[in-house]
Amino acid sequence: MDVVSPELNSLLPDEIMDTEAIEDVQHSQPDRTTVSSQPGENTSVPMETDTPVASENVGLCSDVPEQTQALTTSTDSTLGISSESQIPISITSTASTLLTLKPVLTTSIATTKTTDSVTGTSVTTSGLQKLSAPFTISPANHQIILNKVASAQATEAAKSAGTSPQVIKQEGQKLLVTAIGKSGQPIVLQLPHAGSKPGVSQTSGETKCQAPQFKVVAVGGRSELKPIIGSAGNQVTTLQTQQLKTVQIAKKTPASSAAPIKFIITKTVNSKGLSPQTSVPPVIAGRVLTQNSPVMPQRTISLSETHNTSIQSIPGKKIAISPLKTPSKVTVVSVASPTSNTSQKSVALPVNVALGQQILTVQQSTSASPVKLATSQTTAQNIKPVQTVGGVGSSQFKTIIPLAAQPNVQQIQVPGSRFHYVRLVTATTASSTGQPSGPTTSSIQTAKPMVVSTGAVRMSVPIVPAQTMKQVAPKPLTSAAQVVTTTQTQQRLIMPATPLPQIQPNFTNLPPGTVLAPAPGGGNVGYAVLPAQYVTQLQQSPFVTLASSSGFPASTGIQTQARLPLNGLSTSETTSRPRKPCNCTKSQCLKLYCDCFANGEFCNNCNCNNCFNNLEHETERLKAIKTCLDRNPEAFKPKIGKGKEGESDRRHSKGCNCKRSGCLKNYCECYEAKIMCSSICKCIGCKNFEESPERKTLMHLADAAEVRVQQQTAAKTKLSSQISDLLMRTTHVISSGGGRLPYTFVTKEVLEATCECLLEQAKKAEQTQPQAEAERMILEEFGHCLMRIISSAGKAKADSASISC
């Protein structure tokens, strides 16, 4: 995948490549630089859909009106992140994050330049949420460490970097990082060195020469650093991931110092070229539809649409995604790579999050692009690995995405991708259109499919105003892209963010499917946590689906397809074992008694009564979640996690309390998770330990039973195959006529004739004595009849053959 070169950018239509759209926010809206956006501020402008051009690039742009959250390097070289004591950073991660940036690659960062001085590179992420996650900055190393969960780790990391950790709180500086990474994957934003002072203080000339930089370092693994360096001089250095995925920040060189700095962040995701084996070409989501006018209805533009042809026609499959005439909007692109081997994986879809004012463009690029990629991890800045981000041992895929003021979330599902993409939709906008949307509505205001061309995979993403989105069937696209609309029932995957000010929990504790609104006065940000099963759906479904925020039918199959790692089991383990439907009768599925609820899933195809664990009872559900979290902040974390440091085995986080089962029945959570009890268990009469003879016996029995089952299954399969094969042959023979079996000639007429012959013979035999002789005569006659039948059959076969010849 090529990165659009500056030259090429200049040739591109402004609406596409105009990086100026990523404008100097401070200039135009200086007062917006603070994070705290007032509620309702964003609501007027709906987020547009981005439609990527069919290419290997992934671009995602989301615009958030009036809300700028930019992290800029200040003149004093301190990093500030803005407003309200909390840094607007959204980090999503859990052990398995939906929008997951693979350990290696990871970070999707929306950056935009905020200062017109330009030199300073500012990293802006938009729409961010409150930073509940610890955020530390290491001035010495010019690093910002974002930690999702505990700050202790961040602190340590900062210390390891040689500096004391700092909390960034600087007015006017906002940082949005939409980084979705696995837990344990810290994201480090590396700032320009203090000495270089790339910030506002620099002159334009300095800008050009010195190339103010901002570095985004995504730490994929605990030990991996993925720094991304963006410079003003059209050069971006990216530490490439093992998967050859690159995050690039292309910056259009300003013609003059006065010109705003434009950034294009390009990230190569599963680029075809890089992963030729990939069966599914990378997805490009490319084009972000932004609206300048608050009243504009949402639009989804298909990638195949003609207005994108300019992009598509670009050789090298270069995609330039830029804010469409929305200078002050930010598109946050989340690009993640699912697994370490994900270079093989096909699809990465940009996340379109309606958050900031600035648009970040993500593109795939190749080495040929103006963006330079550096594979060396030893960048000028010492990047210290930081602690994990996200819940430890969290096995659930969760994505937390900042939401706009009155956000509604639409989910984008990408086949073949483990990422979940969420589109946030301002509800008020939808209502402002005055057009109620209904099922199968295809109007622009109500539902317009976004098509993402992924090469072999095409996705149709209906985007519908959240509040009016009820059972909106995806509209088939008739564009040249030949997008096929899924016939699958529209699924609502994410709950609209409703005010839930009290909830300021650790994000990792939130169950998937939860959208949390910001605390009062905390700004227009909310959080969306997406269930992991969506990922599965992404992988299974050839389409991209945007989830509506309401009217989620219980019949949809999402919940039953849950693939969340359960009880510490790997995803693969759970993949083959769909979660059982619950049978709750009294809890309304809003207590942890309910497995669905406990796993952060909506009930679906369950047998529960009076179920409130669905989108139709969002309020109740959110309250229940809050209650659970109040009671136990770890309530939604996986119970099975890593043991103590150095222990490789999984173990129950709390331990069991079994008294009668000997911990050898599924009543025991340890046993159920196929792990042994540990010292933290309070069980009585435990037999679930390594040397336990009972346990060994049980295991042997279980193994034997499993083997038996497998054998039986294999036998059944084989038998079935043989029968099927036999039937196939028979059918073929019969249908061909050449091999008709004799019995097929025993027609009714033949039968009657035979019977007549036998009766006649019997009459004759009656006159014959003894009886044995009579029977012999009848049997002989029967033999003759059979011979005649067979003879006739043979003759017919011969005739048939001769005819066919």
Summarize as ranges the residues that interact with DNA (CB under 7 A).
580, 582-587, 589, 591-595, 598, 627-628, 631-632, 635, 639, 654, 656-663, 665-669, 672
Terminal-residue alpha carbon distance, the chain: 58
How many angstroms separate the Cα of 554 from the Cα of each of 260, 448, 529, 578, 605?
Answer: 50, 24, 20, 17, 6
Question: Exposed, middle or buried by CB within 10 Å (0-12, 13-18, 19+), for 475?
Answer: buried
- Shortest approach of DNA to residue 630 CB, angstroms? 10
**Residue 213 DSSP one-character state:** E
Give me the least distance between CB of 534 and DNA, in Å please. 22
Of 632 and 713, the one with the shorter C-beta distance to DNA is 632
Minimum distance, C-beta of residue 657 to DNA, in the bound complex (Å): 3
Question: Is 115 in contact with 125 (CB distance < 8 Å)?
Answer: no
Q: How far is the CB of 586 from DNA (least distance, A)?
A: 4
State how far the Cα of 86 lies from the Cα of 717, in Å rounded to an integer: 59
Min CB(662)–DNA separation in Å: 7
CB of 580 to DNA, least distance (A): 6
CA distance 442 to 449: 8
Amino acid, single-letter form, for residue 113: K
Work out how close the CB of 95 gets to DNA at its nearest, in angstroms, rounded to a whole number.
Answer: 18
Amino acid identity at 4: V
Which of 454, 424, 337, 560 lies closest to 126 in space, CA to CA? 424
Residue for token digits 């205001």? 445
CB of 536 to DNA, least distance (A): 20
Q: Alpha carbon of 25 to those of 67, 124, 215, 379: distances in Å?
A: 10, 10, 19, 29
Q: Would you call the peptide bond into 770 cis, given omega within 30 degrees of 0 as the criterion? A: yes
Secondary structure (DSSP) of 705-727: HHHHHHHHHHHHHHHHHHHHHHH
- The structure tokens listed for 314 are 């670009």
Q: Which is nearer to DNA, 586 or 708 (CB)?
A: 586
Q: How far is CA 640 from CA 231, 604, 636, 659, in A?
A: 44, 24, 11, 20
- Closest distance between DNA and the C-beta of residue 142, in Å? 42
Buried b (16+ CB within 10 A) or exposed e, 419-446: bbbbbbbbbbbbbbbebebbeebeeebb
Of 632 and 712, which CB lies nearer to DNA in the complex structure? 632
> Which residue, 586 or 700, is less far from DNA as judged by CB?
586
Complex with DNA: residue 290 or 599, whichever CB lies closer = 599
Question: Which of residues 667 and 782 has its CB atom nearest to DNA in the complex?
Answer: 667
User: Which is nearer to DNA, 170 or 509 (by Cβ)?
Assistant: 509
Residue closer to DNA (CB basis): 223 or 576? 576
Amino acid identity, residue 97? T
Q: Which is nearer to DNA, 101 or 589 (CB)?
A: 589
Least distance from C-beta 684 to DNA, angstroms?
A: 8
Closest distance to DNA from the beta carbon of 296 (Å): 44
- 648-675: burial string, b at 16+ Cβ within 10 Å, e else: eebbbbebbebeebbbbeeebbbbbbeb
Residue of 90, 109, 95, 136 lying closest to 388 (CA atoms): 95
Other beta carbons less than 10 A from residue 762's beta carbon: 14
Using the minimum distance from each CB to DNA, give the nearer residue, 450 or 658.
658
Least distance (Å) between residue 463 CB and DNA = 35
Task: Assess contact for 128 and 355: CB atoms under 8 A.
Answer: yes
Cβ-based nearer residue to DNA, 254 or 662: 662
Question: Measured between alpha carbons, how far is 543 from 261 in angstroms, rounded to an integer?
Answer: 36
**By C-beta, is 85 or 657 nearer to DNA?**
657
